[in-house]
Amino acid sequence: MATSLKLNIPTVAPRGSPAFAQALKACCAITAFQADQVQFCKSTDAAVSLEAPKEGVTIVDINAIVRYLARVGGVGFKAERAPDDAWIEWEELVLRPRISELSTVLDLAEQLLVKSGITAAAISPAQIILFSTLYDSTAGASPSILDKHPQLKTWFRKTLDSEWAIEGIQKAAAMTTVAPTDNSSAKAVKGAAGTAPKVEKKPVVVGTVADRKLGDGIEMKVYKDGEKILPVPGQRNVLITSALPYVNNVPHLGNIIGSVLSADVYSRYCKARNYNCLYVCGTDEYGTATETKALEEKVTPRELCDKYNALHQAVYKWFNIGFDHFGRTTTAEQTEIAQDIFLKLHKNGYLSEDSITQLYCEQHDGFLADRYVEGTCPKCNYDDARGDQCDKCGTLLDPMELIKPRCKLDNATPVVRPTKHIYLELGKLQPQEEAWFNKSVVEGAWARNGKMITESWLKEGLQKRAITRDLSWGTPLPKEGFEDYQKKVLYVWFDACIGYVSITATYTPEWEKWWKDPENVRLYQFMGKDNVPFHSVIFPSSQLGTGDKWTMVHHISTTEYLQYEGGKFSKSRNVGVFGNNAEDTGVPADVWRFYLLASRPETGDTQFIWRDFIYKNNSELLARFGNFVNRLVKFAIAKYEGLVPDYTTAGNDPSFDSFKADINKLLKEYVEELETVHIRAGTELLMQVAQRGNQFLQDNKLDNATFAAEPAKTAAVVGLGLNLIYLLSALSYPYMPATAESIARQLNAPLRNIPDTWELDLKVGHRIGAAEYLFSMIDMKKEGEWQQKYGGDKKVEEALKQEEKKKKADKKAKRKEAAKKGGDGGAAAAAGPSNVVAN
At 692-736, the pLDDT tens digits run: 999 999 999 998 889 999 999 999 999 999 999 999 999 999 999
Domains of the chain in sequence order: 5-175 (1.20.1050.130), 237-345+431-462+492-559 (3.40.50.620), 369-413 (2.20.28.20), 623-767 (1.10.730.10)
H or E segment to which residue 805 belongs: helix 794-820
Please give the residue that has the higher pLDDT: either 29 or 589: 589
Instruction: Classify 387 as helix, strand or coil.
Output: coil
Q: What is the dihedral of CA 385, 391, 397, 399, to 10 degrees?
A: 30
- The strand order across the sheet containing 403-407 reads 385-386, 373-376, 403-407
Question: Quick one: average pLDDT of 513-540?
Answer: 97
Enter the DSSP assignment of 618.
Answer: I
343 contact partners, CB below 8 Å, separation of at least 6: 478
For residue 464, pLDDT beyond 50: yes
* Residue 235 pLDDT: 94
For residue 36, pLDDT beyond 90: no
Q: Backbone phi, then psi, for 229, in 5-degree steps?
A: -95, 120
CA dist., res. 504 & res. 512, Å (int): 9
**114-118, 449-453, 580-584, 796-800: which has the highest mean pLDDT?**
449-453
pLDDT tens sequence across 380-422: 999 999 888 888 888 888 898 999 999 988 899 999 999 899 9
Question: Quick one: average pLDDT of 12-33?
Answer: 81
* Residue 836 pLDDT: 31
Instruction: Classify 407 as helix, strand or coil.
Output: strand
**18-32, 283-297, 621-635: which has the highest mean pLDDT?**
621-635
Please give the residue that has the higher pLDDT: either 456 or 249: 456
Task: Establish how many alpha carbons lie within 13 A of residue 690's alpha carbon, considering only the half-sphere containing its beta carbon.
Answer: 27
* Residue 804 pLDDT: 62
Lowest mean pLDDT among 115-119, 166-170, 268-272, 663-667: 115-119
For residue 184, pLDDT beyond 70: no
CA dist., res. 480 & res. 476, Å (int): 12
Q: Are 102 and 141 in contact (CB under 8 A)?
A: yes
Closest C-alpha to 214, from 644, 693, 815: 644
Assign 825 a pLDDT band (cuts: 50, 70, 90). Answer: very low
Question: Quick one: average pLDDT of 117-131?
Answer: 72
* Residue 138 pLDDT: 60
For residue 186, pLDDT beyond 60: no
CA dist., res. 658 & res. 808, Å (int): 68
* Residue 43 pLDDT: 78
Question: Quick one: average pLDDT of 265-283?
Answer: 98
pTM: 0.72
CA dist., res. 525 & res. 716, Å (int): 44
- Tell me what percent of the residues of the chain surpass a pLDDT of 90: 56
Q: Which residues of 67-94 are buried (b: 16+ CB within 10 A; e: fewer)?
A: bbbbebbbbebeeeeeebeebbebbeee
For residue 467, pLDDT beyond 60: yes
Alpha helices in 461-561 (DSSP H): 492-495, 498-507, 512-515, 532-533, 539-546
* Residue 828 pLDDT: 34
- The strand order across the sheet containing 521-528 reads 325-328, 276-283, 237-242, 521-528, 553-559
Question: Quick one: average pLDDT of 785-790?
Answer: 90
Question: Quick one: average pLDDT of 541-545?
Answer: 98
* Residue 187 pLDDT: 39
CA 123 vs CA 90, 127, 704: distances in Å = 18, 6, 9
CA dist., res. 222 & res. 501, Å (int): 24
CA dist., res. 509 & res. 554, Å (int): 23
Please give the residue that has the higher pLDDT: either 74 or 50: 50
* Residue 14 pLDDT: 74
Angle, alpha carbons 15-19-21 (nearest 5°): 65
Closest C-alpha to 502, from 333, 339, 341, 309: 333
